[in-house]
Chain A
Amino acid sequence: MSEQAAYRPGELEAEAQAADNRSRWMLALPAVVIITLAAAGPLMVMVVYSFLTPGDYGNVVWKFSLEGWMNTLVQRDIFDDTLIWADAHLSIFWRSFSLSLITTVLTLIFGVPTAWFIATQPPGKREFWLFLITVPFWTNLLVRTIAIQELLRSEGVINLVLLKLGIIDAPIQMMFTNFAIGFGMTYVYLPLMVLPVYAAVDKLDFRLVEAAHDLYAGRWTAFRRVILPLIKPGIIAGSILVFIPSLGAYVTPRVLGGGKNLMFGNLIELQFGQGRNWPLGAALSLMLMAAVMIALMWYVRVTSREQSDG
């Protein structure tokens, strides 16, 4: 009657643990397979392609070459075969970086007050304002870009109104400029700034602001010395959420920037189209990915430091 169950100490727990691990892996398997097949795996293949030789009509020849990586920064002079800086690429990198930065600053200027405004609404109305900012976030990016294009065109509403009012005599060329790209990206990525800043302001303890006022701080001093440091995590999150997609933007610069004002994403596409240089395209893609990863790592470092400070 009192014979001991035949198992080693801890065996039942180990069995249960193993069964749990097994079932969790089985459950995760479909998602893991799909993403490995159609997202993570192809990125690995691209690493290989970046070290191959371009084929004459696109695609690659299976021969090792560093040309792809070299061509990202330098090119051979047509006449004397010496290496010179690939100025066209460098200017595109610079445009991508500076326009992304400008976009981030512009979304900050317009987004922070908007987020503040929404978060300080009475609770009943707040949902409505939040909904207003979220709807554009989920509406088609291409459609929103087309809306901007129709606004900026030579025959567009802005030029037409300015002409009617007699402010200008001839339509201003706004399309296919850096301005158009910056304007368009600010427009489409603005909700990405507002939402995290809103979340930060929403969490803000307004008694701290009252305490600042109580200690003789004016509105702007209180904003600069108390509010800003407290909502900084939201501002950093918003900036990274705007900067990263701006850096990799493709649709907005393609529609608004035209063939001359390329950004990083369009330069990559070019290598798979007219450029017919897949290894270069692959190398450029990996560079862009690295840039995004650096930005993300910076973000993780900054936020983890903030957290350990608090």
Chain B
Amino acid sequence: MAESRMQKPPKGYSVRTLPGFAIVAIFTLITLYAPIAILVMFSFNAGTSMAIWEGFSLRWYQQAVANEAVQDAAMRSLFLALVAASVATVAATMAAMATTRTRHFPGKTMIYALINQPLMVPEIVTAVALLIVFAAIKVWTGHTSMIYLIVAHTAFCVPFAYLPIRARLETMDLSLETAAQDLYASRWLTFRRVTLPLMWPGIVAGLMLAFVISLDDVVITEFVKSAGQETLPTYMLGQLRRVVTPEVNAISTVILLAGAILVSLFFRLTSKRG
């Protein structure tokens, strides 16, 4: 038995290849992109079908751009993502400085658990919990502005912004800040002249990550928004109940493109060392 096995090391034998794995992998990757590709393709369809190609046209993009509800939702999404991601990034930056490069300090575990809490609980659970609390506040105060959405988005953006900032800080040489203090820099100047410039790529990465997360959110937004506060994702979710046209594909394509650009930038920022 052993002999027959030893006799046939095939050409190009490598322990790194397993039979069939490459085929499954290629199939998987194609399957991962095919639905998106079809969706994008039919956003340029001249007809109303999302399965029969009737020629190239930009009519659905024109229609989406002209649609006031889409304009309104898009502007709200961008505003919300910008505000929530910015606030979350500032809070996450401070929290990262508080929780890294130290041995234990009282409350560290609690702070750490709290920051990561939004990642541990299913979104739908957080969403209904926020619905309960915000509904009570809305009834009590009569106030129904965007503030609820901003606060909710900021909260779940914090752990995402925190991740790359913390990673960046942990690889940073502590002796640089010691050196700055040795050279007469106060705590604030040490932060501004040394710590901040060095952690900057992490902060930008965190900001972008938080921005994408806020832009993509459906569940929490759906439960927290007051009447007339549609974001792009909740608008689309609402549209799915009606007769769907390639207009949805056109909006989806724009969202995909924006996300892909941000993720590519994120990749460049985090993979570059130093």
Is A289 in contact with B133, judged by CB distance below 8 angstroms? no
A269 vs B124: C-alpha distance when bound (angstroms): 8
- The answer, among A27, A127, A222, A223, for a CB contact under 8 Å with B94, is A27
A282 vs B127: C-alpha distance when bound (angstroms): 11
Name the residue in B5, B111, B135 with the highest tally of chain A Cβ atoms < 10 Å from its Cβ: B111
A21 vs B108: C-alpha distance when bound (angstroms): 10
A107 vs B22: C-alpha distance when bound (angstroms): 16
Residues of B near A190 (CB, < 8 A) are 28, 32
Residues of A near B236 (CB, < 8 A) are 142-143, 146
A86 vs B58: C-alpha distance when bound (angstroms): 51
A-B CB pair tally, cutoff 8 Å: 273
A31 vs B262: C-alpha distance when bound (angstroms): 24
Question: With an 8 A cutoff between CB atoms, is B122 at the interface?
Answer: yes
- The answer, among A31, A114, A159, A282, for a CB contact under 8 Å with B95, is A31
Contact pattern, A 139-170, Cβ under 8 Å of B = 1, otherwise 0: 11111101111110101110110000000000
**Of all chain A residues, which has the CB nearest B267?**
A131
Interface of chain B, main secondary structure:
helix
A129 vs B260: C-alpha distance when bound (angstroms): 15
A213 vs B2: C-alpha distance when bound (angstroms): 11
Is A248 in contact with B123, judged by CB distance below 8 angstroms? yes
- The answer, among B88, B106, B260, for a CB contact under 8 Å with A21, is B106
Is B132 in contact with A140, judged by CB distance below 8 angstroms? no
Q: B77 to nearest A CB, angstroms?
A: 11
Q: A301 to nearest B CB, angstroms?
A: 16
- The stretch of A5-13, A43-51, A67-75, A77-85 that contacts the partner chain: A43-51
Q: How large is the interface on B (under 10, 10 to 19, 20 to 34, 35 or more residues)?
A: 35 or more
- The answer, among B21, B87, B233, B249, for a CB contact under 8 Å with A142, is B233
- The stretch of B49-57, B62-70, B175-183, B197-205 that contacts the partner chain: B49-57
Q: How large is the interface on A (under 10, 10 to 19, 20 to 34, 35 or more residues)?
A: 35 or more
Given that A31-B91, A120-B16 are contacting pairs, would A247 and B24 also be in contact in the complex, using a CB cutoff of 8 Å?
no
A198 vs B50: C-alpha distance when bound (angstroms): 35
Is B132 in contact with A222, judged by CB distance below 8 angstroms? no
Contact pattern, B 65-105, Cβ under 8 Å of A = 1, otherwise 0: 00000000000000000000001101110110111001001
Question: With an 8 A cutoff between CB atoms, is A306 at the interface?
Answer: no
Is A20 in contact with B111, judged by CB distance below 8 angstroms? no
Given that A160-B52, A216-B2 are contacting pairs, would A285 and B255 also be in contact in the complex, using a CB cutoff of 8 Å?
no
Is A31 in contact with B128, judged by CB distance below 8 angstroms? no
Is B24 in contact with A114, judged by CB distance below 8 angstroms? yes
Residues of B near A35 (CB, < 8 A) are 114-115, 117-118, 155, 158
Residues of A near B51 (CB, < 8 A) are 150, 153, 155-157, 159-160
Q: B158 to nearest A CB, angstroms?
A: 5
Is B18 in contact with A113, judged by CB distance below 8 angstroms? yes
Is B128 in contact with A285, judged by CB distance below 8 angstroms? yes
Residues of A near B152 (CB, < 8 A) are 38
Given that A35-B115, A42-B130, A133-B29 are contacting pairs, would A139 and B158 also be in contact in the complex, using a CB cutoff of 8 Å?
no
30 inter-chain pairs at a CB distance below 8 angstroms, sorted by A residue, are A21-B105, A23-B98, A26-B98, A30-B95, A31-B114, A32-B115, A34-B154, A34-B155, A34-B158, A35-B114, A37-B155, A38-B152, A42-B129, A110-B28, A113-B22, A113-B28, A117-B22, A117-B25, A127-B271, A131-B267, A133-B29, A139-B36, A142-B237, A155-B51, A157-B50, A157-B51, A206-B15, A248-B123, A254-B237, A288-B122
Beyond the given A28-B94, A222-B15, please list 16 additional residue pairs across the A-B interface where CB-CB is below 8 A: A27-B94, A31-B91, A31-B92, A39-B118, A43-B126, A131-B267, A139-B255, A139-B259, A151-B35, A157-B51, A190-B32, A191-B32, A251-B219, A268-B124, A286-B125, A288-B124
- List the 8 closest A-B pairs by CB distance, nearest first: A248-B122, A117-B25, A38-B155, A42-B129, A27-B98, A147-B35, A31-B95, A113-B24
